[in-house]
Structure 1
Amino acid sequence: MSEVPASSDSATTSRGPLAGVVVLDVTRVVAGPFCSMILADLGATVIKIERPGDPDYARDFPPFLESENGDRFSAFFAQYNRNKLGLTLDLAVPEGKELLKRLVERADVLVENFRPGTMDKLGLGYEQLRQANARLVYTAISGFGQTGPYRRRPAFDNSAQAAGGLWSMNGNPDQPPTRVGTIIGDLAATMYAVIGTLAALRHAERTGEGQLVDVAQQDSVLSLTENAVVSYTVDGTIAKPLGNAHPFVRPYELYPCKDGYVFFGGYTDKFWRLTCAMFGEHDVAEDPEIDTMAKRFDPEVYERRVRPLLHRWMAGRTRAELEELAGDQVPLTAIKDIGDVVNDPHIKERDMIVDVEYPDFGTLQMFGQPVHLGATPADPRGLAPKLGEHNDLLLRGLAGLSEDQIAVLRSSGAV
């Protein structure tokens, strides 16, 4: 583990299971910042490094917190960069390169999400930086990975959804495919980057040997396609958009009710019997045409017998009434909008919406940390840094520079 600069600033007081781990974050937008944010929530000291005249452009993403004097701060940026220290550093100038190498000597992890080859051209790729620190875990997130014929292609979330197969599967039957309604390519890469980083960090702690963690958005999305790969390799079946239906499990989809929609997934024989009893029609469970799971899986039987039953049972009840009726017996869940979710008492009990006070801007509510640890809980309530907010602290404390050396870096435009 690396030493953390001493300070009374709460942002440098590391707690949690990753306390003492120093992470250099040279990423932008979501996939990289989200990865390092998770590490920061878990106690790592994460240093958000941005170019002085060209910072993370997510700082300009809405919505914004606004102060009384007209200043604004991106809530989008704040959510993905909380608990970090802010350092400005121009990696294109020699002084900036040397300073990054100096920081690498004292760091455990570096996370970047540039197009493959970019850091190498700067002289700051994994092979160069490992010379400064053999135990460095170098996590590189990109659209198509560090190897392969597509490695240099520019990519966004939609690129990954398209190239990973997910876009082709999503949407309604007989309609053009529809992208997943969130940046699943970025978010999937984030999760695998965190897993890979922690695995490599564990290895480095045991052996003193760092490594390159190569995570591609395309790979990450492909792994989320459930049964699509084996259905193709075994049966030659190409997954197509199914709307709200599952490829083979029935009933397992969206159903309309009095004030919206619910998901119902009572497809097993046990759940089906409970459902029939719940709606007061015990005899339906014994109907020889639909009395087994295999029979209900048949598309023709499902459309002719099962779906009409469920529509009739649910049509006259509200989402809340159906959830109360189902209780802990069968899988039935109201389809909630984000307002419902933010105000859900269960979500609040799980600490998944957190209030963070931003000086001059007021309270920001954002999602919490889904990893709940009993002995060393994460802390999702930290602030995101202003641009270069912790320059002096980090240059003196972590880099060990004198005031004269810092002045030289400023005059050169490196920080």
Structure 2
Amino acid sequence: MIDEDLRIRLADLGGFDTARGSLAGVVVVDVTRVVAGPYCSMVLADLGATVIKVEHPDEPDYTRTFPPLLAEEDDPDGPVGEDRLSGFFAQYNRNKLGVTANLRHPSGAALLEQLVARADVLVENFRPGTMDRLGLGYEHLRTINPRLVYAALSGYGQTGPYRGRPAYDNSAQATGGLWSMNGPAGGPPTRVGTIIGDLAASLYGTIGVLAALRHADATGYGQLVDISQQDSVLTLTENAVVAYTTEGTVPVPLGNAHPFVRPYEAFPCRDGFVFFGGYTDKFWRISCELFGGPGEYEAHPELHAMGDRFDEEVYEHAVRPLVERWFADRTKAELEALAGDLVPLSAVKDIGEVVADPQIAARDMVVETAYPGFGALRTFGSPVKLDATPPRTNGRAPSTGAHTAAVLRELLDYDEAAIDELRAAGTI
């Protein structure tokens, strides 16, 4: 950990909020790219850690060119590059300090070792074996800093027959079982419409880092945090594993339906769709009275028991038609106003409706960050709500190597001559 004065000086370098977060003083060296990894270190940064993003000076994180792109206000038609700001990159790299180092160069590797000596955590998401080939693997770095928590996020993990395979999010969705379960009923498997493998691995990586930090505080020793995207996706398949291991059932795409809970899916209404989950006996009775009026519940005694409503034939021939009749002539807003406080019923909202949602606003889940020269960028906030040490969510993402010289001076006590020498050698 770094002391309070140094923490504040480093935060000032990035123009970040200097208020103490839960992880204040923790230093994270981030050598990740794209999302699986950058999201993990971003969560740590939101929680107050000092995160130093290390990029190759000539080959920085290529999501810097990913859309959407904000153009400079005085050059809206300029080319993609440092005069364009990637909203994609900014969203996953806020609150970080930017440093460049060529890890293939001996002096660049030495620079990373010096950073690790002052750090608590290193996060990387290279294919297993890459850091070892650079001479910067866990077994080596732990000799420099025994307290180091080394988080390695990869497609298939550091062990097993697939460990060396290249992988993307879709690789994890495919091999973790999620792809085979998703899609319209009776249709082909369909990927989940977001990079859920990357995101899940990042979040599990964050959990692993926090657990390992607690262990390091107690024992003085760090450890390897080994996170696989395939493993992470597998844990998102709900009851699929236990259904197969106990009954031999292989899940297939069900569209918006649940494997056995009914009603529990999206239903059409006058201007779109709503999710309705009134499957318990309590919620079913309330729903009958709300939507069907007096006598609706007693008119269908064959539907009073939850087990009967779960029966697929009963559901398709009696329950679904009844619910569809209830909703057909009402709008999403009307249905939410009528029933949203009483039963699980929610409008199916597009992202524009979500960004404008009053609950999202009340929870500070869309935050605005000022980028001088580019204007304001609105991104998602933090779902972690802490009343004593709230996450900081409006810090900027760094331009490539923006803080290299300052971090070397402040954290590693480099003088200007040494920094100039590294720059001349192409190390930074």
Q: 1:73 aligns with which of 75, 80, 85?
A: 85
Which of 69, 74, 79 pairs up with 1:64?
69
- Matched letter for residue 60 of structure 1: T
Tell me if the contact between 2:292 and 2:326 (Cα under 8 Å) persists in the aligned partners.
no
Matched, 1:231 2:243: yes
- Counterpart check, 1:265 vs 2:277: yes
Distance 2:252 2:295 in 1: 36
Q: Quick check: 1:319 aligned with 2:295?
A: no
User: Unpaired runs of 5+ in structure 2?
Assistant: none
Superposition map of 1:144-223 within 5 A: 144-223=156-235
> Where do residues 61-140 of structure 1 align in structure 2 (5 Å cutoff)?
61-67=66-72, 68-69=74-75, 70=78, 71-140=83-152
Letter in 2 for 1:201: L
Task: State the partner residue of 1:53.
Answer: 58
Q: Percent identity?
A: 65
SS at match of 1:55: coil
- In structure 1, C-alpha distance between the alignment counterparts of 2:292 and 2:210, rounded to whole Å: 51
Could you tell me how far apart the structure 2 residues matched to 1:275 and 1:339 are? 29
CA contact (8 A) 2:309 2:319 kept: yes
Q: How many residues align?
A: 415
Cα contact 1:135–1:209 (8 A) shared by 2: yes
Tell me how far 1:327 sits from its aligned partner: 3.0
Structure 1: segments with no counterpart, 5+ residues = none
Query: Is this contact kept in 1: 2:340–2:346, CA < 8 A?
Result: no
Candidates 29, 33, 44, aligned match of 1:28? 33
Provide the rounded CA distance (Å) in 2 between the counterparts of 1:291 and 1:23: 56
**Which of 291, 299, 304 is equivalent to 2:312?**
299
| Aligned mate of 1:13, from 1, 9, 18 | 18
With normalisation by structure 1, the TM-score equals: 0.98
What's the counterpart of residue 368 of structure 2? Answer: 355
Q: Does the 8 Å contact 1:11/1:85 carry over to 2?
A: no
Give 3-state SS (helix, strand or coil) of 1:131's partner. Answer: helix
Q: Matched residues in 2 for 1:94 and 1:288: separation? A: 78
Q: Distance in 2 between matches of 1:99 and 1:63?
A: 33
Residue 421 of structure 2 is aligned to residue 404 of structure 1: no
Whether the aligned pair in 2 keeps the contact of 1:46 and 1:84 (CA below 8 Å) is yes
CA distance in 1, matches of 2:153, 2:342: 42
- 2:376 is paired with a residue whose SS is strand
- Structure 1 range deviating more: 273-282 or 97-106: 273-282
Structure 1 residue 14 displacement after superposition: 5.8
Per-residue displacement from partner, 1:194-230 (whole Å, max 9, x unpaired)?
Answer: 0000000111111110000000000000000000000
Query: Match of 2:2, as an amino acid?
Result: S
SS class of match (1:151): coil
Query: When the two structures are superposed, what TM-score results if normalisation uses the length of structure 2?
Result: 0.95
- Between the aligned partners of 1:288 and 1:276, the Cα distance in structure 2 is 12
| Structure 2 SS opposite 1:31 | coil
| Contact 1:22/1:107 (<8 A) preserved | yes
Query: 3-state SS of the aligned residue for 1:365?
Result: strand
Secondary structure at 2:180 match in 1: helix
Of stretches 69-78 and 132-141 in structure 1, the one that deviates more from structure 2 is 69-78
Among 322, 328, 341, which residue is 2:354 paired with?
A: 341
CA distance in 2, matches of 1:393, 1:186: 31
**In structure 1, what residue type is equivalent to 2:217?**
E
Q: CA deviation at 1:12?
A: 7.9
Alignment of 1:277-296 (within 5 A): 277-286=289-298, 287-296=300-309
SS in 1 for 2:231: helix
How many angstroms does 1:282 deviate by? 4.1
What secondary structure, in the 3-state scheme, does the structure 1 residue paired with 2:254 have? coil
